[in-house]
Structure 1
Amino acid sequence: MTATYKYIVAVFLVLLFAARFYGIGAPVLDKHSWRQSDTAGTARNFHETGNSILLPQVDWRGDTQGFAEMEFPIYQYSVAKLYDVFGARESVARTFSIALFALSVLLLYRLVSETCSRELGMFTTLIYASLTTTTYYARTILPEPMLLASSVGALYFLWRYSRTGGLVDYVLSLACLCIACLIKVSPLYLGLPLLLLFYRRHGMRMLRSWQCWLYAACVLIALYLWYSHAATLREMTHLSFGLYGEANGKYFNWDTLATLEFWNRVLFERLAAWHFTWVLAPFIVWGICMRRQSPMERLFDLWGIAVFVYLILIPVGNSVHDYYQLPMLAPLCVFAAKPFARHLARPGAPRLAKGLLALCLVAHVGVAQYNYLRLMNKHTDYAPFQRLHERLDALNTPDGLIYTPTKGSPSLLYYLHRKGWIGLPSYEKFRTSEAVAVVGVFGWRNYIQGPTPEQVRALYPPEAFALLDDEVFIVVRR
């Protein structure tokens, strides 16, 4: 790759990371605010209580202590430690997420450039950093950036171990995989490309190698210890994030897999259109079909097969939420980058071909960032929430529990810095509870779904309203 191309790619990467700081201090009322609020609320509770990482608490606790069954809260606990130093502000958590994503970009570049070529590493990281979803989710208060960094780190450090046999690289890879699997169980799919790296180091002797068995045992023991403990938290408070998906068939749902709607939604509407803006979708197919020039390219083939297995094992989540495809993007970016690395960076390639390839890459970056800006500017009306916050504080009940009817979202509880319930109770149920108020917003506002004015007026007598207008309401005891 010429110095000019390296300079252009470097400038693009700097600009793409700068875009992530747009709205860095915005309230957690944007896309997927319900999940961000849970994550941010748990982090803030760690910060305020000083609890051990083994005792995560949620805001939607009702009158319990709030301990909840959840994935290992290492991201939330890390954010809480940053809050201890810099203060409990959304900008602190978002900056931490950006730093974690930057780490995943660096590790991905090192992995691809060391196993294949620097050219492929540069174009892979440029595409990976430019996607609408990686741009947006890299700045959210979610554990996904840590999940991505630890997943790529598990592969990168085991790749280094496969070359040198170094104990430090082995331990770093093991630590990364443990973190990834504790954040989400799904990264167990990485076992497929990891097996290739163990085979590269030990050959068929890996079946008798203590390093392989210790690696697998440590991951499984870590999972067993945490989820056994998490189950005891659920027994204490009956609060859970539904990790096992009993209610919605979260894992391997054949009814979902057997529909054309699922495959169209995930492969075309999500991966091709949303994640890769249609522009790069044909390049993924092109890259998959290209002849392998290095034996270690098989690592990314197996990684791609592994994420396809992940898609089959968790179809419901992938169908409902776009962030479920984040683990799939890194290997797909490698395939999408192959035509650019093979032809755009080749000195003898025709100028017309180079121009067309460069135009496609610029078009993709432009469309992806345009989609990101549209996403960021979709809901930015925070005035009703701020007014609700001020009026509730004026009731002189700083520690009182509240009801928030927000269609299962804890966003309003987090924004108001309160604890309580999610739901719209009858007036009698409210009066016999420990809650001091029922507060909410009407309709669909900033990704929060509230009740209609008619529903609220029908439930409560006129004298119970401390605030009632076309946007928000507060109900108190009279």
Structure 2
Amino acid sequence: MTSRRRAFAVLVSWCLAEWFLRRQQLITDDWQGWRQADTLAMAQHFVEGPFYLLEPRIDWGGDGSGIVETELALVPAVVALAMRLIGSTDILWPAQLLSLVAVAAAGWLTHQELARRFSADAALLGLLAFLSVRGVVVIGTSAQPDALGLLAFAVGWWVFLRDLEAPRHRSWLIWVAATTVAGLLKPTLLSLGISQAIVALARGRPLKRPRLWLGWLVVLGVVGLYLWHARSLYLEHGNTFGLLSGGDSKLPTRARIVELGRWLDLARYAIVWGTGPLAAVAAIVTLWRRRPGVEELALALGGLAVGVVAFRYTSHKWGTHYHLPLAILGALVVARAVEGWRTPWPLRVGAVAAVALYIRGLLFVMGLPPEPETRLGLELAKHRQPGDLVVVRARAPGYEPEWETENNYQDPRVFYLSDTRGWVLPNDEHAPEAIGRLAERGARYYVHVAALALAPAQQAWLATHATLISETDAGTIYRLAPE
């Protein structure tokens, strides 16, 4: 079997495992289910309301428009087109299939580029390492924009390297477009530009080419213009994912940046969810053999830049998706580590380890516990009427004292499952007047997630202004009396 056929067989096997074993039917119970719920809700709004890519809408905008400051909603838009074609908004598989195709394409491109640099066996092991990373396993059928972002990153990286070797107008257009899309989908993916610049600097002469500087200028200009537009949406409508507005900061504080434990957490998440443990071992082998490559160094420094800039997230389970581009670094490191070995045992051991790591990642995501928001959302769906507005008490606080920053606490899962809209209150908002003010604006239900007990004042207010309609270990649902 040829190298390409073996790689294709591996990718097909991986896709089948992802689709039939990893794929979730209840995305609200999946890893980062809140991000998936927001993605699909935006797609539904594109179908049911105005289809305007530059004005995405969410469910937690209260009685307002729901227009939100966020990254470019390209994935929700593509999913919305599929929903319109199929004639239903109650479907998950188009978003999941889009992620699967994007990751598979990124893996295939990475394998092909590794095969240009290393032996067929080394390239295949690099592909196996890529597919075994927990972040790749999880994102493979996840309804999030990160899979498409990974593909854009991969295209921008590999085509940029080709353009350095043999400059062509076509390759220039491709890497500039891919890098731009990556930055629009996730601004932290602009770390790709850092990695590109390091490689160009190491090779010296390419930096003298105006076409490189023009390409980077185009990327920064387009992404910057979009961020300015997104900021204007927040100023007009008041909703944000914390892209530039809202007070939420991903930056480290002085107290946290000097904590050794935080750096160890960052390293752990970067390895498990980014490069993969197999690459960590391969990196030691590569350093021992004194064979590190400039491409690996460039990707590592780009990843480190993201890790520091978004330290609050990258050192925590909230930010596992920030490490996803490091899977390409992991594939490179593994391929270089096994290249040139005269004995086949490193390849065999590496292949077995990659399969074991994939199974471990699969078991991790399949073993995730059910979330209380899922149960509450499904229960609320039995009671609500079309157009009802809802107040949901989030599990997250509005302010993080540990990081000295406001927090993105808005959890959309109850709204998504019950097909409602409304407001989210942070769990550190204990004044019952907050619920009362929203009831005056039309809220008909109050959903309290059981992670935090009701404050006595809230209990007293609800006893006289609401009717308890559901109480489980997941939380409580009240019907609010009209004000």
Which TM bucket (shorter chain)?
0.7 to 0.9
Q: Equivalent residue of 1:142, what SS?
A: coil
Amino acid of the structure 2 residue aligned with 1:308:
L
Deviation at residue 356 of structure 1 after TM alignment: 4.5
Q: CA distance change for structure 1 residues 454 and 390 in 2, over 3 Å: closer, same or farther?
A: farther
Deviation at residue 253 of structure 1 after TM alignment: 4.0
Q: CA distance change for structure 1 residues 232 and 5 in 2, over 3 Å: closer, same or farther?
A: closer
Deviation at residue 258 of structure 1 after TM alignment: 1.4
Which sections of structure 1, spanning at least 5 residues, go unmatched? 444-448
Q: CA distance change for structure 1 residues 199 and 114 in 2, over 3 Å: closer, same or farther?
A: farther
Q: Does 1:336 align with 2:334?
A: yes
Amino acid of the structure 1 residue aligned with 2:238:
H
Q: Equivalent residue of 2:83, what SS?
A: helix
- What are the within-5 Å matches in structure 2 for residues 17-416 of structure 1? 17-21=15-19, 22=21, 23-86=23-86, 87-88=88-89, 89-195=91-197, 204=205, 206-207=207-208, 209-244=209-244, 247=247, 249-251=249-251, 253-268=253-268, 270-272=269-271, 281-292=280-291, 297-320=293-316, 321-343=319-341, 348-349=342-343, 356-375=349-368, 385-392=377-384, 397-407=385-395, 408=409, 409-416=411-418
Deviation at residue 435 of structure 1 after TM alignment: 1.6
Q: Equivalent residue of 1:460, what SS?
A: helix
Does the 8 Å contact 1:94/1:141 carry over to 2? Answer: yes
Deviation at residue 93 of structure 1 after TM alignment: 0.9
Instruction: Give TM-score scaled by structure 2 length.
Output: 0.83
Q: Does 1:433 align with 2:441?
A: yes
Deviation at residue 468 of structure 1 after TM alignment: 2.6
Q: CA distance change for structure 1 residues 474 and 342 in 2, over 3 Å: closer, same or farther?
A: farther
Q: CA distance change for structure 1 residues 36 and 453 in 2, over 3 Å: closer, same or farther?
A: farther
- Partners of 2:347 and 2:105 lie apart in 1 by 30
Does the 8 Å contact 2:100/2:141 carry over to 1? Answer: yes
- Partners of 1:400 and 1:381 lie apart in 2 by 18
- Partners of 2:278 and 2:206 lie apart in 1 by 44
Q: CA distance change for structure 1 residues 109 and 281 in 2, over 3 Å: closer, same or farther?
A: same
What corresponds to 2:480 in structure 1? 476
| Segment of structure 1 superposing worse, 462-471 or 158-167 | 462-471
- Partners of 1:103 and 1:4 lie apart in 2 by 19
- Partners of 1:428 and 1:308 lie apart in 2 by 46
Deviation at residue 121 of structure 1 after TM alignment: 2.4
Does the 8 Å contact 2:130/2:328 carry over to 1? Answer: yes
Instruction: Give TM-score scaled by structure 1 length.
Output: 0.84
Q: Equivalent residue of 1:232, what SS?
A: helix
Deviation at residue 233 of structure 1 after TM alignment: 0.8
Deviation at residue 181 of structure 1 after TM alignment: 0.9
Deviation at residue 4 of structure 1 after TM alignment: 9.3
Q: What is the root-mean-square deviation in Å for CA atoms of aligned residues?
A: 3.1
Deviation at residue 464 of structure 1 after TM alignment: 2.7
Does the 8 Å contact 1:112/1:121 carry over to 2? Answer: yes
Q: Equivalent residue of 1:461, what SS?
A: helix
Does the 8 Å contact 2:53/2:74 carry over to 1? Answer: yes
Amino acid of the structure 2 residue aligned with 1:290:
R
Deviation at residue 114 of structure 1 after TM alignment: 2.1
Does the 8 Å contact 1:189/1:307 carry over to 2? Answer: yes
Deviation at residue 431 of structure 1 after TM alignment: 3.5
Amino acid of the structure 2 residue aligned with 1:147:
G
Does the 8 Å contact 2:162/2:171 carry over to 1? Answer: yes
Q: CA distance change for structure 1 residues 259 and 78 in 2, over 3 Å: closer, same or farther?
A: same
What corresponds to 1:446 in structure 2? none
Work out the percentage of aligned pairs sharing the same amino acid: 18
- Partners of 2:239 and 2:348 lie apart in 1 by 56
Deviation at residue 124 of structure 1 after TM alignment: 1.4
Amino acid of the structure 1 residue aligned with 2:357:
H
Does the 8 Å contact 1:402/1:438 carry over to 2? Answer: yes
Q: Equivalent residue of 1:391, what SS?
A: coil
Q: CA distance change for structure 1 residues 280 and 432 in 2, over 3 Å: closer, same or farther?
A: same
- Partners of 1:411 and 1:450 lie apart in 2 by 17
Does the 8 Å contact 1:59/1:414 carry over to 2? Answer: yes
Deviation at residue 149 of structure 1 after TM alignment: 0.5
What are the Cα deviations for residues 95-128 of structure 1, in whole angstroms up to 9, with x where unaligned? 1111111111122112222234433322111111
- What are the within-5 Å matches in structure 2 for residues 434-453 of structure 1? 434-440=442-448, 442-443=449-450, 449=451, 451-452=453-454
Does the 8 Å contact 1:285/1:335 carry over to 2? Answer: no
Give the paired residue count. Answer: 454
- Partners of 1:210 and 1:336 lie apart in 2 by 34
Deviation at residue 150 of structure 1 after TM alignment: 0.4
Deviation at residue 287 of structure 1 after TM alignment: 3.1
What are the Cα deviations for residues 255-310 of structure 1, in whole angstroms up to 9, with x where unaligned? 32211011111213x244566775653233223443439xxx42222212221222
Amino acid of the structure 2 residue aligned with 1:187:
L
- Partners of 1:329 and 1:212 lie apart in 2 by 25
